[in-house]
Amino acid sequence: MAGASVSKPLALLIPGLDGTGRLFYRQIDPLAEAYRVRPYEFGTRAEFTLEDLTRELGQATAGEPDHSILVVGESFGGLIAIDYAVNYPERVRQLVLVNAFPYYHRRLRIRLARALARLLERRAARRIKNYIVDRILRREGILPPDRERYKDIIRRIDRPAYLRRLQLVQELDLRPRLREINVPCILLAGGRDKIVPSVREARFMASRIPGARVHEFPGAGHALLLTPEVTLADYVPKRISGTNKTVNRDADS
C-alpha cells in the first residue's frame, strides 16, 4: 500500500464501552509530540457486529503508510484492537491493550450490567450509579476534576449503542485469535481494576501473543488512563526528530 504523505504517524485510540474516544483526553497532548492522535468515536447505531466496527476502522485508516499506526484499545476497545491487528497487520506499528480482555469470564456480571443499564433512564438510578462510580474512582487515585469529567462523558453516551456493546462483550471470544497477532504488543494492566481482572488477563494474553510485554500498575484501577502518573507516551515508540528511526522507552511502574 502506498504511504501517505504525513509528518507524523497516526495514533488510533479505540474507546471502551462509551464508544466516544473522549475518555482519552489526558493522553492526547503527550502523544501529539510524536503522533497524529485520533481518539475514535463510533457512529451511534443500535445494530452492529465486531466485524462492522473493525471494518469501520479499516476504512477510516485507509491510505496510512505501512506499519505506521499505533493502535491503542482500552477495555472493550481491546477486542476491536485485537481484531484490527489480525485483519490489518500491514498497517500496525504497535498494538497497545489497556485493561483489556479477549473473553469476559464474569458472565453473571455482564448479564446484570445489561439489565441495570436499562434502568439508568431513571434519575434515582443514575444518582446511585454516580455515587458508586465516584467512590471507586476516588479509591483508584483519580482526581476530582477527572472524576467529574468521567461522569459527564458517560452520562452522554448513546444508550442503544452502549447496550449493543455490552451484548458483544457477552458474545465474543477472541482467545483463539491471539496467536494470530504478529505485530509488537504491549499490555497495560491496573492491579485494582474492579471491572476486569486486568493483570490476569494481560498475563494470559502475553502468554499467547508472541513477544508481548506486560506493564502492571498495582495501585491503578479500570480508569488507568485517567490515573495522574500514567502516560501512554512513555510506553510507545517515539520518532527521533529529523530521522526515520524510532526509540522505545521502557518504563515500568
Which residues partner with 247 through β-bridges? 238
Grid coordinates given for 113: 450490567
Is 5 a domain residue?
no
Higher pLDDT among residues 240 and 53, named by residue: 53
How far, in whole angstroms, is CA 218 from its chain's centroid? 19
d(CA 166, CA 101): 14
Count of Cβ atoms closer than 10 Å to residue 158 Cβ: 17
Residue 102 has pLDDT above 50, yes or no: yes
Is 24 a domain residue?
yes
d(CA 65, CA 244): 13
Is 112 a domain residue?
yes
**Mean pLDDT score of the chain:** 87
Query: How confident is the model at residue 77, as a pLDDT?
Result: 98
**pLDDT for 207-222, tens place per residue?**
999 999 999 999 999 9
d(CA 205, CA 100): 9
For 132-199, the DSSP string reads HHHHHHHHTT--HHHHHHHHHHHHTS-HHHHHHHHHHHHH-B-GGGGGG--S-EEEEEETT-SSS-HH
Is 3 a domain residue?
no
Which residues partner with 38 through β-bridges? 12
- Domain span at 51: 10-247
Q: What is the mean pLDDT of residues 228-233?
A: 94
Count of Cβ atoms closer than 10 Å to residue 70 Cβ: 22
- The total number of structural domains that make up the chain: 1
Is 15 a domain residue?
yes
CATH label of the domain that carries residue 32: 3.40.50.1820
Is 1 a domain residue?
no
Higher pLDDT among residues 156 and 23, named by residue: 23
Residue 249 has pLDDT above 50, yes or no: no
Is 252 a domain residue?
no
**pLDDT for 5-62, tens place per residue?**
458 999 999 999 999 999 999 999 999 999 999 999 998 888 999 999 999 999 999 9
* pTM: predicted TM-score of the whole model, two decimal places: 0.86
**pLDDT for 124-152, tens place per residue?**
555 666 657 777 888 888 999 999 999 89
Residue 168 has pLDDT above 90, yes or no: yes
Is 253 a domain residue?
no
Q: At what angle do helices 159-171 and 76-87 cross, to 10 degrees?
A: 70
